[in-house]
Amino acid sequence: MPEEKDSDKSDHSEDGAHEVPSDDLVTIQHSITVKRRKLNYTTTTGRVVLREEVLTDGTFDGHKPKAEVFLTAYTLDGADPAKRPVTFAFNGGPGSSSVWLHLGLLGPRRVVSGDVDDLTPPPYDLVDNPETLLAHSDLVFIDPVSTGYSRAITGEKPGAYHGFGADIESVGEVIRLWTSRHGRWMSPKFLAGESYGTTRAAGLAEHLQTRYGMYLNGLVLISSVLDFGTIDFSEGNDLPHALFLPTYAAIAHHHGLHGDRALEDVLSEAEEFASRDYPWALARGNRLTAEERAGVVTRLAALTGLSEDYVDRVDLRVEHVRFFTELLRSQRRVVGRLDSRFTGWDSDYGREHMSEDPSYSAILGPYTAAFNQYVRAELGYANDLPYEIISRSVRPWSYKEFENAHVNVSGKLSAAMRANPALKVHVALGYHDGATPYYAAEHVLAHLAIPAELVGNVESAYYPAGHMMYVHEPSRVQQSKDLAAFVQAASNR
C-alpha cells in the first residue's frame, strides 16, 4: 500500500495567495474471488479538478479551476479496453453521494447492514461482494459537487453546481475526462443512476451525445423518476394519486392488511383500478353521485388498508407521507418512505406527517461508518473534510430549465434513443418503494417518444423491496444477476 496521502491540503500558500488545485488520486492494487476466479483490480480514489475555458474580451485566457470532484474507479487488471465495459455510477438526492450503489450493490466490497427486523448493530462490517458488477464491467463512482468529498474550490460558489443543467454539465465533464485520460472511448459505456440519479442519467445520455459525441451502450435506472409530475402531490395534479395506489396496496399487503392474498393478485387489482375507475372518479370531482363516491371510497380503503372514514375525509386523495403516517397509526408505528417494509416509532401519533423516515434511519449509520473506514483503510485516501453522505447544502436546487413546468427528462431520454438506436435501458423497480413508485415509472416508460422498433430496448425488473432494493438480500443477489446480464447483452461485443 502506498504511503497515506493527506488530501486536506491548504487552499493558501504562506504569502496568502491561492494555491492552484491539482488532482489528488491514490492508486492501489486489490483482488477478489468471484466464482472461484481470482480477479486482480486497481482502485483509483481521490478528487479530479474541473476547469472551464475562460474568454477575456473574446480572447482565450486559459482553463480556470472551478471544482474538485471525488471519484472511486475500479479497473480490472489486464483487460482489453476495447472490449471491457465501464459503468459510471451515481446516486440522487439531489445531494446524495454515491455511497449507496458503491457499498450496497455494485462495488467489490459491501456493507453488512441487515434488513427489516434484523438490523446489524454498530460497529457494522464490510465484506467481499462476490456478486459485484466489477466481474463484468469497470466501475467509476462519482460524487457530484458538494456531496462526498467534492467541493467548489476556494473563491468559487458551490451554488453554481446546484441545479439540473449545471449538475449534468459537471458530471458529464468528469465522465469525459476519465474516458479520455484512460483511453476508453472505444469501450462499451454505461450509466447507472438511482432515484434523482436516473433523472441525471437520462439527461446525461442526451448531453453526452450532443455535447461530446459520446454514445452509450446502456442506462441502468434504479428506482426511476423521469417525470416529476408523476410523483408531485401538488394541488390540481391528480396523477400521483393513481400512480401511487399499487404501491400503497403492496405496502398494505406486506403489513398483513390483505390477509392471505398473493401479492400478485393485490397488485393486479390495484393496477386495474388505478388505470381506469380511479382516475375517472378523480376527474369527475363533485359530479360524482353519492353512490359512485361511496363505491370508490370502499375500493380505495380495501386496497390501501386505510379506513373508509379516512379515505372519505381526504377527498379520495391519499398523499404519500400522510399514508406512511396513517397506515399503522393504531399500532403506534409509522412505515418507511424509501422502503415501506420498515416501521418505526414517532414521538406523537397524532401527527399528519411522520417526523422521520425509519427506513432511512436504518441504513444511514451502516453506510456512513463503512465508507469512512473503507476510504482510508482500504482505498488509501485521507481527507479531513466530512464525507457528505447526504448534503443539505445543495438546496434550493435549481430547475430553471423547467420554469412553470414539471421536471421531465423523458424527452431527453427519447431523443437519445432515437439518435442512438443501440442504446439499451434497464429499469429496476421496488414494489415497496414509497419515494419513486413502480407504477409511476411504468407510466413514463409507456409514454416515451420512441418508435415501436425501439420499445424492446427497454427492460424492467421488479423486486419485493424498496428504493434501495439491494438492502433485501434476495433482491440484491437477483439484481446483481440482472445487471450482469444486461451489461453483457448491451455491450455489443
Question: How does pLDDT run across 191-216, given as a tens digit for each residue?
Answer: 999 999 999 999 999 999 999 999 99
Q: Are residues 201 and 261 in the same domain?
A: no
Query: What is the model's pLDDT at position 461?
Result: 98
Q: Are residues 252 and 225 in the same domain?
A: no
In angstroms, the CA 139 to CA 283 distance is: 47
**Which residue did the predictor score with more confidence, 117 or 103?**
103
Q: Are residues 82 and 185 in the same domain?
A: yes
| pLDDT band for position 492 (cuts 50, 70, 90) | confident
Residue type, 164: F
Query: What is the model's pLDDT at position 59?
Result: 74
What grid cell was written down for 58?
473574446
In angstroms, the CA 404 to CA 166 distance is: 19
Q: Domain boundary at 356, 373, 388, which?
A: 356
Q: Are residues 304 and 352 in the same domain?
A: yes
Q: Are residues 242 and 315 in the same domain?
A: yes
Residue type, 105: L
Query: What is the model's pLDDT at position 18?
Result: 61
The residues, ordered by sequence, that sit 6+ positions from 220 with a Cβ below 8 Å of its Cβ are 87, 190, 191, 192, 193, 201, 426, 428, 483, 486
pLDDT tens digits, one per residue of 304-346: 999 999 999 999 999 999 999 999 999 999 999 999 999 999 9
pLDDT tens digits, one per residue of 119-147: 999 999 999 999 999 999 999 999 999 99
Q: Is the pLDDT of residue 10 over 50?
A: no
SS3 assignment, position 34: strand
Q: Do the Cβ atoms of 323 and 451 come closer than 8 Å?
A: no
In angstroms, the CA 182 to CA 204 distance is: 20
Q: Are residues 323 and 381 in the same domain?
A: no
SS3 assignment, position 137: coil
Query: What is the model's pLDDT at position 61?
Result: 65
Q: Domain boundary at 333, 356, 379, which?
A: 356
Q: Are residues 322 and 204 in the same domain?
A: no
Query: What is the model's pLDDT at position 291?
Result: 97
In angstroms, the CA 440 to CA 425 distance is: 17
Which residue intervals of 255-289 are DSSP H helices?
263-275, 277-284
pLDDT tens digits, one per residue of 36-79: 999 999 999 999 999 988 777 777 766 788 999 999 999 999 99
Q: Is the pLDDT of residue 9 over 60?
A: no
pTM: 0.94
Measure Cα distances from 180 to 149, 158, 173, 354 in Å: 23, 26, 10, 47
* % of the chain beyond a pLDDT of 90: 90
Other Cβ atoms less than 10 A from the Cβ of 314: the count is 16
| pLDDT band for position 4 (cuts 50, 70, 90) | very low
Q: Are residues 292 and 147 in the same domain?
A: no
Q: Do the Cβ atoms of 68 and 21 come closer than 8 Å?
A: yes
SS3 assignment, position 365: helix
Q: Domain boundary at 307, 337, 356, which?
A: 356
Q: Do the Cβ atoms of 142 and 99 come closer than 8 Å?
A: no
The residues, ordered by sequence, that sit 6+ positions from 59 with a Cβ below 8 Å of its Cβ are none
Query: What is the model's pLDDT at position 493?
Result: 58
> How far is C-alpha 381 from the geometric centre of its chain's CA atoms?
25
Q: Maximum distance among all alpha carbons in the chain? A: 81
Number of domain units in the chain: 2
Q: Are residues 222 and 240 in the same domain?
A: no
Query: What is the model's pLDDT at position 6?
Result: 43
Residue 225 sits in a domain whose CATH number is: 3.40.50.1820
Summarize the confidence of residues 445-462 as an average pLDDT. Answer: 98
Q: Are residues 350 and 372 in the same domain?
A: no
Q: Are residues 208 and 277 in the same domain?
A: no
Which regions of 57-93 does DSSP assign to beta strands (E)?
A: 59-76, 86-90
Q: Is the pLDDT of residue 13 over 80?
A: no
Q: HSE of 36 in the Cβ direction (CA atoms, 13 Å)?
A: 0
Mean pLDDT across the chain, nearest whole number?
A: 94
Q: Are residues 387 and 401 in the same domain?
A: yes
Residue type, 132: T
In angstroms, the CA 367 to CA 348 distance is: 28
What residue numbers bound the domain in which 338 lies?
Answer: 233-356
In angstroms, the CA 469 to CA 104 distance is: 9
Q: Is the pLDDT of residue 427 over 50?
A: yes
What grid cell was written down for 126?
464490510
